[in-house]
Amino acid sequence: MEQVLIAGQWRDANASSSFQAANPATRELLPPQYPVSTWQDCDEALEAAAAASVKLRNYSGSQVAAFLEAFADDIEANAAAIVEMAHAETGYPKETRLAGGEMPRTTDQLRQAAAAARDGSWALPTIDTAAGIRSVYGAIGPVCVFGPNNFPLAFGSASGGDFAAAVAAGNPVIAKANSSHPGTTRLFAECAQRAAEATGMPSGMVQLIYRTSHEDGERLVSDPRLGATGYTGSRHAGLKLKQAADLAGKPIYLELSSVNPVAILPGALNERGEAIADEFTGSCLLGTGQFCTNPGLVLLLAGDSTDQFIEAVTAKFAAAPVGTLLSSGVEASLAANLQVLVDAGAELLVGNAAADEQRFCYANTLLKVTAQQFLSDPEVMQTEAFGNSSLLLVAESVDQLVQVVACLEGNLTGCIYSDSEGSDDEAYDRIAGEMRVKVGRLLNDKMPTGVAVSPAMNHGGPFPATGHPAFTAVGIPGALLRFGMLQCYDNVRPHRLPCVLKDESPNGTVWRSIDGTWTQDNIV
C-alpha cells in the first residue's frame, strides 16, 4: 500500500480500504494500492497544517518563493517519471499533451506564483497615511485542494494552479489526490516535500491524502483549523462540499460544470465557415473533449450556411480519431448524459455509441436541437456531457437566440463568432449583452479551450460554473486572492507592521495604493 504524506513524513495511512487507478488505454487496473484514509489521517494533517500555518506567518514572500522555485526545479528533474506515470494513469499522449504541454505550464505557473509571492503586489497593499490605516491580504490558513481528473499536472492537487496560488499566498496545502491519478500526485508530493525540506519550510507545508469517505471530505472542508478549500471537479460532489463548507463559514472556491456556449453567426459562417468548422472540431475534441472550457453548446441561426456548417462538422466528427477518456466513470457519464439529451428530444447527428472495447472511450458525438426544444426544457438541455461531444442548437431568429442565452446557467466562457464586415453586428450586440453576465470570460472569434495563465485571465464565472463570480482559478496574481483574508492595521505602531505595509517598500517592486495612488515608491 502506498504511503500518505502527513506532517513531513511519508507513513502508512490509517486506511479503511484501498483503491487502484486504471490505465485508460487498456482498461486494466494499475498495480499500486492506495489507501482510503480515515478521519484520523485528516485530523493529523489538519493539526500539522495549522501548526505550519502559524510558523509561516514569520516567513517572507521570498522564502515561500524559494520553495516554489525549488519545487519547479525538482519537478523538471523528475519530469520523465511524472510524465510516464501520468500517461499510464490518464491515457494522455506523452509528448504533445504531457511533456510538451502540461508540464511546462505547471512549472511556469509555479514560477509565476513564486514571482508573485516575492513581489507582493497580489495582496493589494493599501495605505491611508492621514488616517493611519493600512491593509493587505494575508494568508487565510491551511488550504485543502481537491484536484480534477483532467489536468493531472497543471491542476494537480499537489502541483497545479490552486496549489501554487495557495502556497504563494502563504498557506500550507493539504492535497487530496484525484482518484484517477494518485500515482502522479504522489510523485509531485515527493518533489514538493524534498523542495520544502531543502528550503526550510515548516513540516506540514505540503501533505497528501489519496481519498477519504464523502463524510470525511465534508468534515475536512468545514474544520475550524482549515482556512479555505479549492475544488475542481463534478458538480454533484462539489455542491456537497460547498454545503458543508458554507455552513461552517469556510470559503470554498469551486470550479464545476460549464457548457461554454459558442454562438456562430451567419455572416461569420458565410465568410469563413470551413475554418470555423475546423476550429470547433479541434477545440471540441482536444483532450477527448475533457476540458472545463470545452465548447459543449453551439448556438446557430437557421439557414444555408448553418446547414453547411452542421454537415461539415458532422463529417469531421465521424472522421476524427476517437480519443481515450480518463476513466470508466467519464465514459459512463458521457453516455448517460448524452442519453439525457436524446431522451429530451435531441437529434443524433453522429456518434453516441461505444467505440473501442479495449480502452475507455466513446464515439465522437454531435446532437442537435431547435431553440424551441431547448427553451421548453432549458435545465435538462444544459446537461453537461463531459467529453468528446457537443450539442448544436439552431434558432429561427436572433430573438430566439437571445432568449436561449438569457436562460443559460452561469458558465466559465462564452464565445461569439461574427463576420468582419458588420453584417452580424446587430445580432452580436444583443447576444453579447445577455451573454456577458452569464460567463466569466467572453471571447470573440476564438474557441474557449485555451486558458492562458495571464494576469487578465478569468477562469471563473457565475454559479454553478463556480461558487463565487468574483474570483478566478487561473491567472497570477489574481488567483492568489482566493487564499487571502483582508487584514487591516489601524494605528498599529510602525515597527509592528508587516514589511509590505511599512513606509519603506520591502523590495522596490511591490505596487501599493498609497493615498489613492498606485506606486512602487516608499512613503516619504
Residues marked active site are found at: 255, 292
Distances (CA, A) of 402 to 249, 338, 345, 428, 504: 37, 25, 21, 10, 53
| In the complex, minimum distance from the CB of residue 428 to a copy of itself, in angstroms, rounded to a whole number | 8
DSSP secondary structure letters along 360-424: S----EEEEEEHHHHHHSHHHHT----SSEEEEEEESSHHHHHHHHHT---EEEEEEE--SSSTT
Binding to a copy of itself (CB under 8 A): which residues in 370-429?
A: 410, 413, 428
Binding to a copy of itself (CB under 8 A): which residues in 307-336?
A: none
CA atoms of 206 and 204, how far apart (whole Å): 5
Task: Classify strands 126-128 and 34-37 as parallel, antiparallel or unpaired.
Answer: unpaired
If the CB atoms of residues 200 and 433 are measured against a copy of itself, the closer one turns out to be: 433
Residue 207 · residue 50 · CB < 8 Å = no
The reply on whether position 499 binds a copy of itself by CB under 8 A is no
Residue for cell digits 509590505?
A: 500
Query: Interacting stretch for a copy of itself, rule CB under 8 A, among 149-157, 174-182, 355-363, 512-520?
Result: 512-520
If the CB atoms of residues 88 and 501 are measured against a copy of itself, the closer one turns out to be: 501
If the CB atoms of residues 194 and 446 are measured against a copy of itself, the closer one turns out to be: 446
Q: What is the CA 236 to chain-centroid distance, rounded?
A: 16
If the CB atoms of residues 17 and 420 are measured against a copy of itself, the closer one turns out to be: 420
Residue 155 · residue 232 · CB < 8 Å = yes
Q: What is the CA 518 to chain-centroid distance, rounded?
A: 30
| In the complex, minimum distance from the CB of residue 210 to a copy of itself, in angstroms, rounded to a whole number | 29
The reply on whether position 280 binds a copy of itself by CB under 8 A is no
If the CB atoms of residues 186 and 438 are measured against a copy of itself, the closer one turns out to be: 438
Short-list 472, 490, 471, 485, CA closest to 57: 485
* Cis peptide leading into residue 462 (ω within 30°): no
Query: Interacting stretch for a copy of itself, rule CB under 8 A, among 13-21, 145-153, 313-321, 455-463?
Result: 455-463
Going residue by residue from 224 to 243, which x/- string records binding to a copy of itself, judged by CB under 8 A? ------------------xx
Q: Which of 1, 54, 332, 499 binds a copy of itself (CB under 8 A)?
A: 54
Binding to a copy of itself (CB under 8 A): which residues in 58-117?
A: none
Q: Which of 34, 67, 122, 137 binds a copy of itself (CB under 8 A)?
A: 137
Residues in the chain, how many?
A: 524
If the CB atoms of residues 351 and 448 are measured against a copy of itself, the closer one turns out to be: 448
| In the complex, minimum distance from the CB of residue 362 to a copy of itself, in angstroms, rounded to a whole number | 29
Q: Which of 142, 161, 204, 251 binds a copy of itself (CB under 8 A)?
A: 251
| In the complex, minimum distance from the CB of residue 142 to a copy of itself, in angstroms, rounded to a whole number | 11
DSSP secondary structure letters along 104-140: HHHHHHHHHHHHHHHH-GGG--EEETTTTEEEEEEE-
Going residue by residue from 456 to 495, which x/- string records binding to a copy of itself, judged by CB under 8 A? xxx-x-xxx--xxxxxx-----x--xx-xxxxxxxxxx--
The reply on whether position 524 binds a copy of itself by CB under 8 A is no
